[in-house]
Amino acid sequence: MTKKIIWSPLSEADFEKVLDYLYKSWNEQVALDFMTEVEKILNQISKHPRQFPLVNEKRKVRKCVISKHNTIFYREKKECVELLRFFDTRQTPSKLKF
């Protein structure tokens, strides 16, 4: 069963920052390729939300690596999948808050 993907305000803001960076520092094609990759991964998560490892068992947070610089953190709920953060792995890990 495919679950609906719900974006948290933090995940939306994170995603916008990544896209802004890609548009400004690289080019439109790189940003479009990134969006395509994210779309594929979100489709995969919506179909099989438990396929990626738990990184916080108490909060049931899972981690999916998009690229060496970007990771999605999410949790499965009864009716949906909640995207918590798009995290730039070049940042200090202590900045990662859910």
Domain positions in the chain? 4-90
In this prediction, residue 88 carries a pLDDT of 84
90 pLDDT tier (thresholds 50, 70, 90): confident
In whole angstroms, what is the distance from residue 35 CA to residue 2 CA? 20
4-90 adopts what CATH topology? YaeB-like fold (3.30.2310)
In this prediction, residue 96 carries a pLDDT of 75
Beta-bridge mates of residue 71: 65, 87
Q: For residue 37, what are the contacts with CB-CB under 8 A and spacing of at least 6?
A: 66, 67
pLDDT tens profile 24-78: 999 999 999 999 999 999 999 999 999 999 999 999 999 999 999 999 999 999 9
If you search the block for the tokens 């995290």, which residue do you land on? 87
